[in-house]
Amino acid sequence: MSPIEPHELTAFLDGELPPDRARAIEEALESDATLREELESLALDDAAWRAAAASARFRPEIILPRVAAAPVSMSIPAVIALAVLLAVCKLALRSIEPIAVSFILQGIVLAALLGLVWQVLKRETAQLPAT
């Protein structure tokens, strides 16, 4: 039989060993008092750690900044402008390959959305109190 490693004793306690190796450790425990003491020590430590983990009631306090939604007065004109811009671009780009039109329109939509996000963030950061 190969020597019993400390990690195998831990796995034995957790019931994670293959049956044949678990039987070999049980046989070794019957004849080796030092190994039994080591297993008992590991079992006590394991029980203490499990009890500590079970009693932990740590709940971190997370304070997130309040972010107000963009006012409707800003959102509606932006959506209308974006729709008009897309319609004009689609009409102007009819002679270009469809895949190119798709990429161009996606770029315009992305730029418009990034512009909206930038405006909202700029307005929100201007309202933050000075530290």
User: In a 3-state reduction of DSSP, which class is residue 16?
Assistant: coil
**How high does pLDDT run on average in the chain?**
78
pLDDT digits (tens, 9 = 90+) for 58-107: 766 777 777 665 555 566 677 777 777 777 766 666 666 667 667 777 77
pLDDT digits (tens, 9 = 90+) for 77-89: 777 777 777 777 6
The mean pLDDT value for 1-23 works out to: 89
Domain co-membership, 51 together with 76: no
Q: Is residue 112 part of a domain?
A: yes
Domain co-membership, 79 together with 35: no
Per-residue pLDDT at 4: 86
- Measured distance CA(33)–CA(44) in Å, rounded: 16
Domain co-membership, 50 together with 76: no
pLDDT digits (tens, 9 = 90+) for 108-119: 777 777 777 777
Q: Is residue 10 part of a domain?
A: yes
pLDDT band at 37 (very low <50, low <70, confident <90, very high): very high
What total number of domains does the chain contain?
Answer: 2
The domain in which residue 47 lies consists of 6-55
Per-residue pLDDT at 64: 72
Domain co-membership, 79 together with 119: yes
Domain co-membership, 96 together with 121: yes
Domain co-membership, 80 together with 113: yes
Q: Is residue 65 part of a domain?
A: no
Per-residue pLDDT at 55: 80
Per-residue pLDDT at 95: 64
Q: Is residue 61 part of a domain?
A: no
Q: Is the pLDDT of residue 122 over 80?
A: no
Q: What is the DSSP string of 61-125?
A: ---PPP-PPPPHHHHHHHHHHHHHHHHHHHHHTTTS-HHHHHHHHHHHHHHHHHHHHHHHHHHHH
Q: Is residue 11 part of a domain?
A: yes
Per-residue pLDDT at 23: 94
Does this model's pTM top 0.85? My answer is no
